[in-house]
Structure 1
Amino acid sequence: MDAQELMKGALDIHIHIAPDPNRRRRVDGIEAAVQAKEAGMRGVVFKSHDYNTTPVAVTVQKMVPEVELYGGVSLDFEVGGLNPHAVEAAGKLGSKIIWMPTFSSKNDMLKKNIPDKGITMLDEKGRILPVVNEILEIIKHNGMTLATGHLSTQEIFLLLEAAEKKEIERILITHPLSRWVGPTISVEDQMKMIRPGLYFEHCFVSCMPHSDRMHPKEIAEAIRRIGPEHCIMSTDFGQITNPPPVEGMRIYIEFMLAHGITADEIVTMTRTNPASALALPAIG
């Protein structure tokens, strides 16, 4: 199968859409959904650093019923940070993913040389904050998926321990190789994180000029070492400087094929694992 054929049935669980209060975006929800439909994709997950995208997904779904559209909320400053009320509302709306802080994370702030700001999971003694456990309970109760956002590697290890105690069933490690934002987790540490229901979400945006300029070969090598059964391919596209997300996924697939990832492995990472991560029924 070529990349165009492999697009059919794919789920991209990480795309950014307009409107966005802080930056221009390449597509809005309707444009993203129509393009996904035209490519034969199964569906997409809308993400924002600033608001819960589920209402957008629910509304656009009525206009483009041929693709599955989902949303979630990122626990950044704009929604009150580690805000259990925002997570509770997300559950009631049918949100699929709760992302831990992204651009508001202390980890990202440190990378920007702003050491006194940012949200952390940990208290002054390096322990998980009580509010994080409260949020995990809400995620569990509502059957949502926990995503690590842009937390540090240390925070992620401790969050995984807390999530295991709360019996969280589905976890996404968000762009683990990224150097520009997020944790930059070594493959060795990624292998220590492996557990049932956990997936490493390798995002193509890390290969883009405005981001990490990572060679796609690095992602392919990490996938081979960790195993495609533990990985998800998503784009994290929507930036004005990049192609539209659907085209981004096609290019991503082309690069993975070029670097030795098989068609069957791509199906696992673009269809099977994303569906499992969102607790969706398997199709085909």
Structure 2
Amino acid sequence: MSEIPTAEELTRRLIEIGPVDTHYHVGPELFPRRYDVKGLVEDAREWAMTLVLKNHTYPTTPLASLARGRYGASFLGSVVLNRFVGGMNPDAVFGAVSGNHSHPTERGEEPPVIVWMPTVHARSHLDTLGQAFDQRWWGQCAHGDKVERGEQPVDAFDANGKPLPETIDVLQAIAQTGSLLATGHLQASEIMKLVPLALEQGVRTVILTHPHYPSVRLEDKQLQELVSDQRVFIEHCFAIHTIEEVPLKQFAAAIEATGPEQVMLSTDFGQVHSDPTPEGTLKFACAMAPLLLKFLSLEQLVNMFGPTQRRALHLEKAG
């Protein structure tokens, strides 16, 4: 077993590698968030953090582009294929990519866009929770008239498990634009079909979004099968512990089963009641260290907070 580092030592090591959080919520949204993009820029600057900005209701590519162009931040944009953007809609992909420019008139090389499968409008999410938005994740009251209305699910597969034509169209749009796929809140059986389909369509990276979330529930054997392809990465999120109360030992068991090479540790924070950045990242690292250093080295632990994300996101400083 490796020696457990102090919080100060972990801070130093994380800053050295340049931490990357692939799952960070930014407002404004239907309900309060801790940050708007400028506030997030200011706090992320402390550790020079790279963040993927997520919002359930609209693309964050313009926000990330503004942060890069005006403030020098290392932010990536995304779009979630909920009903707010037309659901399983390839035009939502092209639209999000159109906003992925750090300068309004000049065109240069930009980081990729992350395209999430449906989250709050995924059928598995609605079936599991009975509603789109879960009050435990709000932190304070949302606008009930906008949240309590009936929600129609966004499907990726038909009742027989066959991919819908629009799902193929979306995957082709992701591949065509060089974007990356995240599995959102689809259930395990859907993900097991989606991942090979996406890779066949030319998608260059697939991120398995918080596999222990109640509407997902990917088992360790399924994770092992999926990461047998080096283009597939697992994203374990701290909020699945802090909000959903999934034990961290379950994360550790999954990492021991799959190995750490294609595992990313992110927060899924941005809620008003979650820790700010970079404190949330440090707390996650400190909490996981006693569990993971039983079978991993400190270097392997730290790599799951930055270098692995850079490989998954095809960023320059991959290492």
Normalising by structure 2, we get a TM-score of: 0.82
Contact 1:34 1:64 in 2 (8 A): no
Corresponding residue for residue 59 of structure 1 = 66
Corresponding residue for residue 263 of structure 2 = 231
* More off after superposition, 109-118 vs 83-92: 109-118
Q: State yes or no: 1:138 paired with 2:179.
A: no
Corresponding residue for residue 115 of structure 2 = 98
Out of 19, 40, 44, the position equivalent to 1:36 is 44
Q: Could you say what secondary structure the match of 2:254 adopts?
A: helix
Corresponding residue for residue 200 of structure 1 = 234
Distance in 2 (CA, whole Å) between partners of 1:245 and 1:238 is 8
Distance in 1 (CA, whole Å) between partners of 2:151 and 2:161 is 16
Distance in 2 (CA, whole Å) between partners of 1:267 and 1:96 is 25
* More off after superposition, 188-197 vs 126-135: 188-197
Contact 2:121 2:151 in 1 (8 A): no
Kindly indicate whether structure 1 or structure 2 has the higher relative contact order, using CA contacts under 8 Å at least 6 residues apart: 2
Q: Which has the larger radius of gyration?
A: 2
Which whole-Å deviations, capped at 9, do the CAs of 1:113-163 have from their partners, x for residues lacking one? 369831121113220001111111111111111000000111111111211
Q: Could you say what secondary structure the match of 2:261 adopts?
A: helix
Corresponding residue for residue 251 of structure 1 = 283
Contact 1:91 1:139 in 2 (8 A): no
Corresponding residue for residue 222 of structure 1 = 254
Shift in Å at residue 191 of structure 1? 1.0
Corresponding residue for residue 110 of structure 1 = 127
Distance in 1 (CA, whole Å) between partners of 2:35 and 2:198 is 34
Corresponding residue for residue 202 of structure 2 = 167
* More off after superposition, 232-241 vs 115-124: 115-124
Contact 1:6 1:263 in 2 (8 A): no
Q: Could you say what secondary structure the match of 1:14 adopts?
A: strand
Q: Could you say what secondary structure the match of 1:134 adopts?
A: helix
Shift in Å at residue 283 of structure 1? 5.1
Distance in 2 (CA, whole Å) between partners of 1:221 and 1:19 is 36
Q: Could you say what secondary structure the match of 2:154 adopts?
A: coil
Q: Could you say what secondary structure the match of 1:188 adopts?
A: helix
Distance 1:116 1:243, change over 3 A: closer
Q: State yes or no: 1:19 paired with 2:52.
A: no
* More off after superposition, 123-132 vs 69-78: 123-132
Moved over 6 A (4+): none
Distance in 1 (CA, whole Å) between partners of 2:171 and 2:219 is 25
Corresponding residue for residue 223 of structure 2 = 190
Distance in 2 (CA, whole Å) between partners of 1:260 and 1:86 is 39
Corresponding residue for residue 178 of structure 1 = 213
Corresponding residue for residue 279 of structure 1 = 314
**Unaligned segments of structure 1, at least 5 residues:** none
Q: Give the CA RMSD over aligned residues.
A: 1.8
Distance in 1 (CA, whole Å) between partners of 2:39 and 2:279 is 12
Distance in 2 (CA, whole Å) between partners of 1:5 and 1:220 is 23
Shift in Å at residue 220 of structure 1? 1.9
Q: Could you say what secondary structure the match of 1:177 adopts?
A: coil
Distance in 2 (CA, whole Å) between partners of 1:215 and 1:80 is 35
Contact 1:33 1:44 in 2 (8 A): no
Q: Could you say what secondary structure the match of 2:208 adopts?
A: strand
